[in-house]
Every structure is written in structure tokens, then in C-alpha cells.
């Protein structure tokens, strides 16, 4: 340490030399050893910073800036929505058991059945506890023209 004037605050005191060769007092020596990253403003030792496009940046920001530049230079794909073929929504209008065409179906255990097939299926199934496991529900379709 020698006596001199701090290059940052101008105070006449004992000074040390920073990594940039300038003289700094004990209050300012942090800024002589460490430099600020241009992008994230984090203070790092001057030896870790690198110049990129004329600015001092830390290694993390350097990687981000290089990746960003590569993304900007790479041509972007033009967005084209996928076109799916248009198909009308159609329902089977035949009983899945006997094949009879009808307008009213009953869905029993996931199958579309006409009234007569439903009654036959219900007779075949035994019930545990006295009630049906799944109550059938009625589905009605309008006639096609």
C-alpha cells in the first residue's frame, strides 16, 4: 500500500492498485477488482468477464446472448395449422346385438340395444343385492331424411 489519490472517489489516503491498474482507496478497491456485467449488472472479478459486442459480460450472459443471436439468424418455420379431413359425426343406428334398425336405443353395459334385446340381456344377467349394476338409459335419434 502506498499513499496517493483514489481514482474513483478522489480521496487522498493509502491506495491499492486494482486489476485495471488504477489506484483505489480501501472503500473503493472492490470496484477496482470487480467489474459489473453489462447485461445482468452482477459484479464479478474482472478476469472472468469477456467482451461481447463491445461490452463486458459474464459467462452466463455470454452464453445467453450467443444463443439469442443464433435464434435470430436461424430462419423461423412458417406456422401452418394441420388440416384434418372433414368427416361428419355419425352414430350407428343399428342394434349392436341383432342388427335391427330403430330410432330408440337403450345403452346397457356400454352397448346400444333395441328394446327387445335389452329385455333379453336383462333376463340373462343376475343381480347381486337385488338391483341393476347399471340402469339403462334411453337415447333417441332423429330420422334421416
> At 139, which CATH number?
3.30.40
pLDDT at 84 over 90: no
Report pLDDT for 22. 87
The set of cell numbers assigned to 42 is: 452482477
For the chain, how many structural domains are there in total?
3
What confidence category does residue 136 fall into, taking pLDDT thresholds of 50, 70 and 90? low
Output the DSSP codes for 74-109: SPPPPP----PPP-------B-TTT--B-SEEEEET
What does pLDDT average to over the chain? 81
- The answer to whether residues 138 and 97 belong to one domain is yes
Q: What is the DSSP string of 12-24?
A: EEEEEE-TTS-EE
Residue 139 inside a domain? The answer is: yes
d(CA 29, CA 17): 8
Least confident of 28-32, 35-39, 66-70, 101-105: 101-105
pLDDT at residue 144, as a whole number: 52
Q: Which range marks the domain in which residue 100 is found? A: 91-145
Nearest to 96 by CA among 123, 117, 75: 117
CA of 71: how far to CAs of 55, 64, 76, 80, 86, in Å? 20, 11, 8, 20, 36
Q: Are residues 5 and 47 in the same domain?
A: no
Residue 68 lies in a domain: yes
Amino acid at each position: 500500500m502506498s499513499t496517493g489519490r483514489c481514482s474513483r472517489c478522489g480521496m487522498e489516503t493509502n491506495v491499492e492498485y486494482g486489476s485495471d491498474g488504477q489506484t483505489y482507496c480501501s472503500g473503493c478497491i472492490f470496484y477496482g477488482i470487480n467489474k459489473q456485467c453489462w447485461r445482468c449488472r452482477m459484479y464479478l472479478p474482472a478476469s472472468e468477464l469477456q467482451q461481447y459486442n463491445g461490452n463486458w459480460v459474464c459467462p452466463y450472459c455470454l452464453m445467453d446472448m450467443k444463443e439469442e443471436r443464433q435464434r435470430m439468424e436461424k430462419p423461423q418455420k412458417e406456422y401452418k395449422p394441420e388440416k384434418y379431413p372433414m368427416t361428419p359425426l355419425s352414430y350407428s343406428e343399428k342394434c349392436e346385438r341383432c342388427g335391427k334398425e330403430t330410432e330408440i336405443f337403450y345403452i346397457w353395459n356400454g352397448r346400444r340395444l333395441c328394446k327387445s334385446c335389452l329385455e333379453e340381456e336383462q333376463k340373462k344377467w343376475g343381480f347381486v343385492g337385488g338391483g341393476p349394476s347399471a340402469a339403462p338409459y334411453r337415447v333417441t335419434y332423429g330420422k334421416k331424411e
